[in-house]
Chains A and B, each alone.
Chain A
Amino acid sequence: MKVNLNTRILSKNEQAAELNRGFLADHKLACLNLISSPGSGKTTILARTITDLKDKLRIGVIEGDIKTDYDAQRIRTAGAAAVQIETEGACHLSAPQVNWALQKLPVNDLDLVFIENVGNLVCPSAFDLGESGRVVVLSIPEGDDKPAKYPGTFANADVILINKIDLISYLKFDLQRVLADIAVLNSKALIMQISAATGQGMQTWYDWLMDQQTSR
C-alpha cells in the first residue's frame, strides 16, 4: 500500500518562518540573517556596525551558537540588545528558535534585527528564519574556493561581505576567482569588500543597511 504525499519536509520550520515574517512586518523591522564559517568575523562586523551607527539605527541581535553566550556579551558591550540562543549541538538556527528570541527583544524600540547564525557554511542555508534579507560573510583567510564549494549558501545571498580585505596582500587569495564563481551562482547579490578591523569599506555596508530600514 502506497501513500503519495509530496509534503514539504521542513514545513514546520516554514510555518514558523511565516509567523516571524508577519511579526517583523507588524513591528516594521528589517531582519538580516548572517551566515558564514566560524571565525569569518560576523560578531566583529556586528559590534563595529552597532558602535558606528548608534545614533542612526536601533539594532537588536539574535545570537546563535552551539554553546556559550560570549557573542551576546560582545554585542551588549557594543551597546545593543542581544538574545543568545544556545543550540546545544544543532548546527543551524531554526525559525521556532528565532520566534522565541524575537519575543525577548525590545522590538518596539528597534529598527533592525540581525540574526547571527551558527558558524557553518552548509546547514543554515536550508532553514528560512523569516528574515527580510540574507547576508553571507566570506573572509580572506578562508580561501578563494568557498563560493564554488558551498554553492547553496552563496546562491541564496542578498549581500556577500568579503571581510578581512586588509589581509589580501599577505595571503594567497584570488579575488577575481571569487567574483567569477559568485557571478555564476548569484548575479543579483551585492558584493562588498570590507574590513571590520580597520573600517575599510564599511560605509558602503552602512549605506545599504540604512536603505533596508527606510524601505520597510
Chain B
Amino acid sequence: MHETAVAQSILDTILEHAGKLNAKPVRAVISCGQFNTLNDEAMQFAFETAAEGTVCEAMELVIRHIPLRARCVNCDRLFEFDIYTPACPECKSEHFDFQADAPLLLEEIEFENPNDKGGL
C-alpha cells in the first residue's frame, strides 16, 4: 500500500514537468529494487487512481524491477541474488555481501509531440 504514496510523488513530478513544457505526458518509466519492491498491480492501480482528472489520466506507466546483486565472499564473483537459491552460482558458497539495492527512481517521462495533437 505504500504504492499510493509512491504514485502521488510520481504524479506530482510529472505534473510539474507537464506544466513547464505545456505538453501532455503519455508514458513514464519508473524502476525499483528487490527490497524496496513495488507490486505491479497495486502500483498501476494507485497511479491510475491518483491520475484521474489530471492531464496524466490514461498515460502508460512502465515499472522496471532491477535485480539485486551480491558479491561472493569466497570467490569474489558478482551475481544476481535469487531468494530461492541463495548461494553463489560459481562456488555454491552461502557467504556473500549484498550490493546496494536499486532506489525507487522516476527514470523518464515521454510527452506527446506537439504535431501529434489532434491525432488521426
- Measured in the bound complex, the distance between the Cα atoms of B83 and A90 in whole Å is 29
Q: Which residues on the A side are within 8 Å of B17 (C-beta)?
A: 3, 5
Contacts of A2 in B (CB 8 A): 108-111
Known contacts A90-B5, A123-B1, A148-B83; decide if A5 and B106 are in contact (CB<8 Å).
yes
Q: Does A122 contact B (CB under 8 A)?
A: yes
The 8 A CB mask of B9-25 against A (1 = contact, 0 = none) is 11001000100010100
Report the minimum CB–CB distance from A35 to chain B (whole Å): 13
Task: Decide: A5 and B13 in contact? CB cutoff 8 A.
Answer: yes
Q: Which of A57-116 contact B (CB under 8 A)?
A: 90-92, 94
Q: CA A92 – CA B3 in complex, angstroms?
A: 11
Chain B contacts for A6, CB-based, 8 A: 105-108
Which residue on chain B has the smallest CB distance to residue A120? Answer: B1
Within the complex, the shortest CB–CB distance from B14 to chain A, in Å, comes to 9
> B90 to nearest A CB, angstroms?
17
The answer to whether A155 and B94 touch across the interface, beta carbons within 8 angstroms, is: no
Contacts of B95 on A, CB cut-off 8 Å? 187
Interface residues on A, range: 20 to 34
Please tell me if the beta carbons of B109 and A5 are within 8 angstroms of each other in the complex: yes
Any chain B CB within 8 A of the CB of A8?
Answer: yes
Q: Does B89 contact A (CB under 8 A)?
A: no
- Is the C-beta of A126 less than 8 angstroms from some C-beta in chain B? yes
**Nearest chain A CB to B91 CB, angstrom units:** 16
The CA of A128 and the CA of B118, in the complex, are separated in Å by 44
Tell whether A152 pairs with B37 under 8 Å between CB atoms, given A1-B111, A3-B111, A8-B103: yes
| Interface residue? B34 (CB, 8 A) | yes
A10 interface residue, CB < 8 Å from B?
A: yes
A-side contacts of B110, CB under 8 Å: 1-3
Q: Check B109 against A3 for contact (C-beta < 8 Å).
A: yes
B9 pairs with A10, CB closer than 8 A: yes
Whether A1 lies near B23 (C-beta < 8 A) is yes
Q: Tell whether A4 is near chain B: CB-to-CB under 8 Å.
A: yes
Q: Which residues of the partner chain B approach A92 to less than 8 Å between Cβ atoms? A: 2, 5
- Chain B residues with Cβ below 8 Å from A132 are none
Give Cα A183 to B105, complex, Å: 29
- Chain A's nearest CB lies how many Å from the CB of B38? 9
Chain B neighbourhood of A7, CB < 8 A? 13, 105-106
Whole-angstrom distance between the alpha carbons of A184 and B108 in the complex? 34
In Å, the complex CA distance between A187 and B70 comes to: 13
A 1-27 binary contact with B (CB < 8 Å = 1; else 0): 111111111101000000000000000
A173 and B104 alpha carbons, distance in the complex (Å): 35
Q: Distance (Å) between the CB of B112 and the closest chain A CB?
A: 8
Which residues in A have some Cβ–Cβ distance to B below 8 Å?
Answer: 1-10, 12, 90-92, 94, 122-123, 125-127, 148, 151-152, 155-156, 183-184, 187
A-B contact pairs, 20 of them (CB 8 A): A1-B23, A1-B112, A3-B108, A5-B13, A5-B17, A5-B108, A6-B105, A6-B106, A8-B104, A8-B106, A9-B106, A10-B5, A90-B1, A90-B4, A125-B36, A127-B2, A151-B83, A152-B34, A155-B35, A183-B94
Seed contacts A2-B110, A3-B108, A151-B35; 5 additional CB < 8 Å A-B pairs: A5-B106, A9-B10, A125-B36, A151-B83, A184-B86
